[in-house]
Amino acid sequence: MRQTRIARNIWLGIENLLLHKLRSFLTMLGVVFGVGSVVAMLSVGEGASKEALEQIKKLGSNNIIISSMKSAEEEATSTQHSHMSIYGLTYDDFRRIATSFRSIRQAAPVKLTRKDSRLLQRVLELRIVGTTPEWFDLVPRELLAGRVLLQSDLAKQAPVAVLTEFGARRLLATESTIGQTVRFGTDQFEVVGIVRSESGQAGNIQIPDQDVDAYIPMEVARRYFGDIFTKRTSGGDEREKVELHQVIVRVDDPKKVEAVAGGIERMLEQFHKKKDYVVSVPLALLKQAEATKRTFNIVLGSIAGISLLVGGIGIMNIMLASVTERTREIGIRRAIGAKRRQIIYQFLIETVVLSTMGGIIGLGVGALIPFLITYFSGMVTVMTLKGILLPLLISMSIGILFGLYPAIHAAKVDPIVALRHE
């Protein structure tokens, strides 16, 4: 019975609002924009978090990626002829990092070189990644055919290669290609597997793998290709000596990632004269996402706050006018036997209906804003159930908050005076 009474009150509220369509709509606008802003705010924030999480997943959530990087001074002198730049991570660095930290469970060294590769009659420049089987744990990708590198490949220094899906497709390698011979430069390798790959940036961190990778055992890469690389540039040959291009480690506890990264940084500082490395922490992307979220929250939050306040005051104003207009109705209801409380309920529900309808329209507007943000800035936005329910809850609360005063005002109407009211 109580439910039907509330339902009837809601219906009565809707009918009264429909009686003054334009007025009701204009009154709702503030709430519409306020709720719209809240929806946009939540979906942008949610999108930023989701994007960051996806990126972190690609990078490895508990990973720390240490990359070799030509230092600024080296960059300046390397234009001279016959100069050889020596920089980056060393085999010793890898050993020290892998063994010194208790919370580092797995570590993979990475040695890179680019080679024209040939399978049957097809040629494609591949990035040859010398690494260990740990790589496939730290950069987990789906295995499409064959197998990944094994510890025994390392021990035997077997000339085997795992291709990535994209490179394999370009070289016309398929499942049947497993066991065939691929040439990297002049050296022959046996294709043992094909894995899927990611590529590109995640935040400001390079994703460890690329589409044109071929993975071979670390020791093989070192023996076949050495540590000295020659780059052909317009100014002549440029030579570099880099032992390791990357070291990827995994920390057992996400809470320790930052501390370990700091420890690695300090350790490397002691052994390197120049800053020729960079330590990246994928988990830090979450912090960036939080920062993005905060910026949007401040902007949209202020818009939402002001709109909701103004909207609420607008609703209060219109409801006060409505109470005056309907003084006689209130008098009739009171004379019939309605208690003050029931008059309060009636007007309160009417206000909540008004503000909630504003909220529902605002939800539509709010769904449009993230869509436009995504369209124009490419930022990921996500609508969640929470992102829908919270704004609705806010709009209802606005109705209660700003409807209470007019409703109490209505209940104070003296029925005797109200019945004589014209």
Partner 1 sequence: MNKQTLSTNHQEIIRLENAHKIYQMGTEQVKALAGIDVSFDKGSFWAIMGPSGSGKSTMMNILGCLDRLTSGSYYLDAKDVSRLDDDSLSEFRLRYLGFIFQSFNLIPQLTVQRNIELPLYYLGWDARRSAERAKELAEEVGLGDRLGHRPTELSGGQMQRVAIARALSNDPQVIFADEPTGNLDSATGEQILELLIKLNNLGKTIIIVTHEPAIAAHAQNRLHMLDGLIDRIEGKSDEAD
DSSP secondary structure code for residue 175 in this structure: G
Binding residue (CB under 8 A) for partner 1 from 185, 203, 301, 415: 415
Q: Are 350 and 420 in contact (CB under 8 A)?
A: no
Residue 416 CA neighbour count, 13 Å, CB half: 0
* Closest separation in Å from C-beta 334 to partner 1: 7
10 Å CB burial of residue 355 (0-12, 13-18, 19+) is buried
Binding residue (CB under 8 A) for partner 1 from 21, 142, 273, 336: 336
Binding residue (CB under 8 A) for partner 1 from 256, 340, 383, 408: 340
Q: What does DSSP say about strands 277-280 and 63-68: parallel, antiparallel, or unpaired? A: antiparallel
* Closest separation in Å from C-beta 407 to partner 1: 16
Q: b/e for 76-85, b at 16 or more Cβ within 10 A?
A: eebeeeeeeb
| CB under 8 A, 24+ apart: contacts of 197-201 | 197/141, 197/164, 197/165, 197/166, 198/58, 198/141
Stretch that binds partner 1, among 103-111, 122-130, 195-203, 323-331 (CB under 8 A): 323-331
Q: Does 337 bind partner 1 (CB under 8 A)?
A: yes
Pick between residue 301 and residue 415 the one whose CB is nearest to partner 1: 415
Pick between residue 83 and residue 339 the one whose CB is nearest to partner 1: 339
Close Cβ partners of 384 (under 8 Å, ≥ 6 residues apart):
42, 43, 46
Q: Does 342 bind partner 1 (CB under 8 A)?
A: yes
Q: Does 8 bind partner 1 (CB under 8 A)?
A: yes
Binding residue (CB under 8 A) for partner 1 from 44, 333, 347, 352: 333
Q: Does 325 bind partner 1 (CB under 8 A)?
A: no
Q: What does DSSP say about strands 205-206 and 201-202: parallel, antiparallel, or unpaired? A: antiparallel
In degrees and rounded to multiples of 5, residue 195 shows phi and psi of: -120, 160
DSSP secondary structure code for residue 173 in this structure: -
Stretch that binds partner 1, among 266-274, 305-313, 336-344, 393-401 (CB under 8 A): 336-344
Binding residue (CB under 8 A) for partner 1 from 267, 328, 345, 408: 328
Pick between residue 313 and residue 335 the one whose CB is nearest to partner 1: 335
Binding residue (CB under 8 A) for partner 1 from 120, 298, 335, 389: 335
Pick between residue 134 and residue 329 the one whose CB is nearest to partner 1: 329
Q: Are 191 and 161 in contact (CB under 8 A)?
A: yes
10 Å CB burial of residue 139 (0-12, 13-18, 19+) is buried
DSSP secondary structure code for residue 89 in this structure: B
Q: Does 351 bind partner 1 (CB under 8 A)?
A: no
Can you tell me the distance from the alpha carbon of 30 to that of 28, in angstroms, rounded to the nearest whole number?
A: 6
Q: Does 332 bind partner 1 (CB under 8 A)?
A: yes
Can you tell me the distance from the alpha carbon of 322 to that of 413, in angstroms, rounded to the nearest whole number?
A: 13
* Closest separation in Å from C-beta 320 to partner 1: 19
Pick between residue 112 and residue 330 the one whose CB is nearest to partner 1: 330
Q: Does 341 bind partner 1 (CB under 8 A)?
A: yes
- Nearest C-alpha neighbor of 216 from the set 171, 174, 162, 170: 162
Measured N-to-C along each axis, helices 21-59 and 385-411 cross at an angle, to the nearest 10 degrees, of 150
Pick between residue 6 and residue 291 the one whose CB is nearest to partner 1: 6
Q: Are 227 and 243 in contact (CB under 8 A)?
A: yes
* Closest separation in Å from C-beta 302 to partner 1: 39
* Closest separation in Å from C-beta 323 to partner 1: 14
Q: State the number of binding residues for partner 1 (CB under 8 A).
A: 24
Query: Which x/- pattern over 16-55 shows residues binding partner 1 (rule: CB under 8 A)?
Result: x--x------------------------------------
Q: Does 339 bind partner 1 (CB under 8 A)?
A: yes
Q: Does 4 bind partner 1 (CB under 8 A)?
A: yes
By the criterion CB under 8 A, which residues form the site for partner 1? 1, 4-5, 8, 15-16, 19, 328-329, 331-342, 415-416, 419
